[in-house]
Amino acid sequence: MSIERIGIMTAWNVDSGVFIHAEPIVKAWINMGYEVKVFTFIREDFHGRVIFGVDEPFVTRCFGTSGKTNFLDPRPLLTEKYDVLVVEDLKMLPMENLAKIFHMIKRRTKAVVHVLHENTILGDKPPQPPIFYAFDWDAVVYIEKKQEWFAKALYGDKAYYIPFPCFPMRNGSKEEARRKLNLPLDKKVVLVYARGGYSPYLPKLPSEGLENVHFLVLTGKEEKWRYPQTEIRVTKPLSNAELDEYVFASDALILHKVRTPPYPIAVTSSALYQLMGTLKPILVPKISEFFEHFNGQVLKYSDREELREMLLDALNMGEKTKKAVEKARMFVEKRSPEKIAQRYIELFEKLI
């Protein structure tokens, strides 16, 4: 095969949506037999709030963020072997220093591909500085359809759409997870994820049909409010495996994140791509640009009363929930890491 080694500049082992995008693709490439080298942020200056665990042998930390140190050690990028270099979320990288060595990177690779995480080019202040547009990419990949208008405007026929991947389908023992997390074994448990921009949103309680439901709010900050049937649990940022444990322990999940600016932005819920593969019922707000392109895979509510109705359906595995879970399963299969990773390989082959 003409592509054997892939390099990628990205966030890694951190609580970042960019990592949620990169991890399943990188692991799929490795499983497909490719040699992958991950170049990522230094521990002193990274994009996110926490670094998880010990890095894998294929990871090299050699740069900081554009907003803090703007540090770049060029040696790994100029000496490691890779046929293609993928660059994710350029605005967070040390763009000025990367631009200085970009001609050398281009000379030693078969293709350099930018994965576009930017959500708009609108606004009173330009979201990206002029240096952002200085790179001569062989291709630019946009990962949400709402990015298409500005991706095509900026990059023309160099812009390609490859969708955001889902994490694989998986399951775990509800009883074991509840024992480990000290959650009630004899009640329905609804997980209210309230970290990383997600907010706690609950139905009116107590409420008919939900009297025996335990609402677990996961948050990163101390909350002074108290509410019936609700446990507030303050945690450190959770690794993917730790969050999975909480989802396995639950009967349904609320992801409440609302953003409705005056002009369209290409935002999405990376947590939804991460968690949909657990095939748990997931409830999200109707009026939110983070979820508007999900059609049928989740249960959408407009207010607290509709949230109560949706929860009753979800906790009793009603018809709406069964349809949503089946659509979620089909969505996860369509966007499996292997299928998305293969689309990147096909693009690389086309470019060379």
Residues 208 and 322 in one domain: yes
Q: What is the DSSP letter of 145?
A: G
Same domain, 195 and 147: no
Closest CA to 255 of 297, 234, 283: 283
Q: Above 60 in pLDDT, residue 1?
A: no
In this prediction the pTM is 0.93
Examine the domain organization and report whether 153 and 209 are in the same domain: no
pLDDT tens track for 71-84: 999 999 999 999 99
Residue 120: name the closest of 259, 248, 12 by CA: 259
Is the pLDDT confidence value at 259 over 80? no
Residues 144 and 264 in one domain: no
Q: How many structural domains is the chain composed of?
A: 2
Q: pLDDT value at position 225?
A: 86
Whether residues 142 and 207 fall in one domain = no
Are residues 189 and 127 part of one domain? no
Region 1-29 average pLDDT: 94
Domain that holds residue 316: 174-333
Our measurement of the distance from residue 180's CA atom to the centroid of its chain's CA atoms, rounded to an integer in Å, reads: 26
Instruction: Write out the H or E segment, with its range, that includes residue 283.
Output: strand 282-285
Is 248 found in the same domain as 130?
Answer: no
Distance between CA atoms of residues 352 and 348, nearest Å: 6
Give me the pLDDT at residue 196, please: 82
pLDDT exceeds cutoff 90 at 125: no
Task: Find where tokens 């109560």 sit.
Answer: 308
46 strand-pairing partners: none
Same domain, 107 and 227: no
Would you give the DSSP letter of residue 130?
G
Same domain? For 19 and 151 the reply is yes
Name the residue among 340, 254, 295, 263 with its Cα closest to residue 20.
Answer: 340
